[in-house]
Amino acid sequence: MTTAPLNTPADSAGEPAPFPLEFGIDTFGDRTSDDSGRQTTHAQTIRDGVEQGVLADQVGEDFIGIGEHHTDDFPLSAADVVLAAIAARTTRIHLGSAVTVLSSDDPVRVFQRYSTLNAVSGGRAEVILGRGSSIDSFPLFGYDLADYEDLFEEKTNLFAELLKGGPVTWQGKTRASLHDQDVVPHTESGPFPTWIGVGGSPQSVIRAAHYGFSLMLAIIGGSPTRFAPFSQLFQQALERFDRSPLPVGVHSPGHVAATDERARDEFWPHYLETIRRFSKIRGFAVPTRESFAAEVGPHGALYVGSPETVAQKIAANLTTLGANRFDLKYGMPGLAQSALMTNVELYGTQVIPRVRELLA
Amino acid sequence: MTSSAASSLPRVAVLGAGHVGPVIARLAIDAGYRVSIAASDDPENIALITQVLVPGAEPRWAADAIENSDLVVLSIPLHKFAAFDPALVAGKLVVDTMNYWPPIDGVREMFEDPAYGSSEIVARRLADSTIVKTLNHLGYHELDDDRRRAGSPDRRALGVAGDDPAAVTVVADFIERIGYDPVRLGSLRAGRLLEPGGPVFGVALRRTEFESALRSEAA
Ligand SMILES: NC(=O)c1ccc[n+]([C@@H]2O[C@H](COP(=O)([O-])OP(=O)(O)OC[C@H]3O[C@@H](n4cnc5c(N)ncnc54)[C@H](OP(=O)(O)O)[C@@H]3O)[C@@H](O)[C@H]2O)c1
């Protein structure tokens, strides 16, 4: 269980408190295929996602997160609705966003939706807030990308106020002011765990510490070890703001199958295809077999392989990064639902126990 | 690095404490440069970031950092550039590491003219500064990992483009010292080859590969 205490004074500065190890899975609602390779409909992709979440609970995973996207490849735009469906069929697993693009949402509504999810699930909701590196929500909801820093800063501030519970008085430029406003539903037992997803901006690390949110490092390319200073920065900033230590998590993409070879063969074509499309938009080079091999290797950011390979890499990086939570972003548009279910199952039944063993 | 070597190197001011700025600052520190770093506001706000991520660099107000520098590295988002005061860097050598990325910056009228590269537009606005374009075409996450000693067979090449040959020499030397092979491009205009969508953007290339990628595109 993670908690996001707000305004709790640090009892003793220094060593980060040891938090229990936790293992989650994240999806961006990647469009699935059936076993003959045919792309499924948006609706089927969503139902497939519910099944993945139910299985994740059955095999002992601690968390499932759904990342907000609004494209044909990633049609799972209403994460909280899907999470509520998973909640109704599970009892243990925590449910959250990964991430909520807060910059283009209304913090009051986000609070209401996840507080409702928290009620429905008996206290299992979490929120991971993001500034929005996936930017499809900005034009959709009428925001200017150039404002993303200001939007995120203000809305994070309001969200932190809402989480405290009790009437909120707040003023800003990005939405209507609130005066002594009671926002419902109230949570039963304090704020639900809230994280800030950070992709490489140290200023976001400071922001997380400032508001007393946990830190989720989104490491999607390059060497994970370069994020170790961010973890230190977070601990020091928490001390600076007189806060207790808070959990640090890692979110990275990957794919688990019975063997290394099978995992790579299944993942690579869909990874290539997806990155190729992003490359076109952002102007960078498409990955090659060589660059892919580097990312999959011990110094890269992708966790693609057999349960043993993936477990070794997770264990090594959790240690290096001083993190206690690992969320595997599984799936890629076009991967078959059966491969995703196998991935979810192997992660729960083999990878997680093996990482626990390695870190014991 | 001896202090005499450090004092003969240009003093570096990095503007921007986001994804990119601190990484460039750290590389410069490692290479023996004296470095100050600034964001848009009070240096107090970036004191902890500097202490943890760029030990040895000095957080300052932008104006102070620039005044006490010989080389200004501009690593701010282009959508903030319109509000950047050109007088701040008048007379200075400015390294432009910025890209115009509508998916990140939104559509900025100022940079929409297809006849000019973003650095040419930056140079037009910073008319009293000398602009050299480099470091824009690799990701902040690669900057740390990909540097190598001179002579390493897998040393990555970086383009250095500018109209003032002496300024390009200073910046090429900077690139060399932080761990990359500088490839000189004869003008800021030629620097368009380094932009997003161009032949070297986001690709790790050695010098010979880099040069041939530029040649085949220019041809
Ligand atoms: N991301 C990459 O991999 C990459 C690679 C190569 C080049 N680039 C280019 O580098 C630039 C910066 O990108 P980024 O990702 O580092 O941006 P970022 O994370 O948003 O950080 C921007 C930084 O610029 C500062 N800033 C804004 N206006 C300023 C001003 N007028 N004076 C001084 N500092 C100012 C901000 O400080 P405050 O918070 O105080 O405003 C912030 O520290 C962009 O142009 C980008 O295209 C990026």
Domain total in chain A:
1
B56 contact A CB<8A: no
Q: Which residues have CB under 8 Å from A316's CB, separation 6+?
A: A298
Taking CB atoms and an 8 Å cutoff, what residues of chain B touch A240?
A: 48
pLDDT of residue B101: 85
Q: What are the structure tokens assigned to B84, written together?
A: 């950047």
Task: Quote the domain boundaries for residue A247.
Answer: 22-359
Q: What is the mean pLDDT of residues A68-90?
A: 96
Taking CB atoms and an 8 Å cutoff, what residues of chain B touch A138?
A: 106
Residue A178 bridge partners (DSSP): A170
Nearest-CA distance from A143 to chain B in Å? 10
Of A146, A221, A229, the CB nearest to B106: A146
Residue environment code for B41-51, b if the CB has 16+ CB neighbours within 10 A, otherwise e: eebeebebbbe
Size of interface A-B (CB pairs under 8 A): 80
The string of DSSP letters for A22-46 reads EEEEEE--PPPB-TTSPBPPHHHHH
pLDDT of residue B1: 45
Condensed to tens digits (0 to 9), the pLDDT of residues A106-137 reads 999 999 999 999 999 999 999 999 986 667 88
Taking CB atoms and an 8 Å cutoff, what residues of chain A touch B106?
A: 138, 144-146
pLDDT of residue A4: 42
Nearest-CA distance from A45 to chain B in Å? 26
How many beta carbons lie within 10 A of that of residue A206, not counting itself?
22
Nearest-Cα residue of chain B relative to residue A219: B141
Condensed to tens digits (0 to 9), the pLDDT of residues A166-210 reads 999 999 999 999 999 999 999 999 999 999 999 999 999 999 999
Note whether residue A51 is domain-resident.
yes
Along chain B (219 residues), what's the average pLDDT of each consecutive run of 10 residues?
A: 66 97 98 98 97 98 98 96 97 97 84 96 98 96 93 97 98 98 98 95 94 88
Give the ligand 1 atom nearest the CA of B140.
Answer: 3
pLDDT of residue A135: 73
Give the ligand 1 atom nearest the CA of B83.
Answer: 31
- B200 three-state secondary structure: coil
Q: Is A284 in the pocket of ligand 1 (CB under 6 A)?
A: no
Give CA separation, B50 vs A71, B30, B155, in Å.
38, 14, 28
Domains and CATH numbers, chain B: 3-218 (3.40.50.720)
pLDDT of residue A133: 62
CA A225, A228, A234 angle in degrees (round to 5)?
A: 155
pLDDT of residue B6: 57
Condensed to tens digits (0 to 9), the pLDDT of residues A220-232 reads 988 999 999 999 9
Condensed to tens digits (0 to 9), the pLDDT of residues B99-131 reads 998 877 888 999 999 999 999 999 999 999 999
Of A206, A279, A282, the CB nearest to B48: A206
Rounded to a whole number of angstroms, the CA Rg of chain A reads 19
Q: What percent of chain A has pLDDT over 70?
A: 94
Note whether residue A121 is domain-resident.
yes
- pLDDT over 90 (residue A281): no
pLDDT of residue A10: 39
Chain center to CA of A311: 19
The string of DSSP letters for B140-160 reads HHHHHHT---TT-TTPPEEEE
In this prediction, residue A9 has a pLDDT band, given cuts at 50, 70 and 90, of: very low
Note whether residue A133 is domain-resident.
yes
Query: What CATH number does residue A212 fall under?
Result: 3.20.20.30
Ligand 1 center–CA B6 separation, angstroms:
26
Main-chain dihedrals φ then ψ at residue A64, nearest 5 degrees = -125, 130
Quick check: B138 and B156 in contact, CB under 8 A?
yes
Condensed to tens digits (0 to 9), the pLDDT of residues A232-270 reads 999 999 999 999 999 999 999 999 999 999 999 999 999
Ligand 1 center–CA B154 separation, angstroms:
29
Nearest-CA distance from A67 to chain B in Å? 19
Nearest-Cα residue of chain A relative to residue B136: A284
pLDDT of residue A14: 42
- Which residue, chain included where needed, has tokens 């809402």? A162
Note whether residue A3 is domain-resident.
no
Nearest-CA distance from A284 to chain B in Å? 5
Ligand 1 center–CA A167 separation, angstroms:
36
**Sheet-wide strand order for B93-96:** B58-59, B35-38, B12-15, B71-74, B93-96, B130-133, B157-162, B181-185
SS (H, E, C) A240-291: HCCECCCCEEEEEEEEECCCHHHHHHHHHHHHHHHHHHHHHHHCCCCCCHHH
Greater pLDDT, A146 or A16: A146
What is the average pLDDT value for chain A, to the nearest integer?
93
Rounded to a whole number of angstroms, the CA Rg of chain B reads 16
In this prediction, residue A148 has a pLDDT band, given cuts at 50, 70 and 90, of: confident
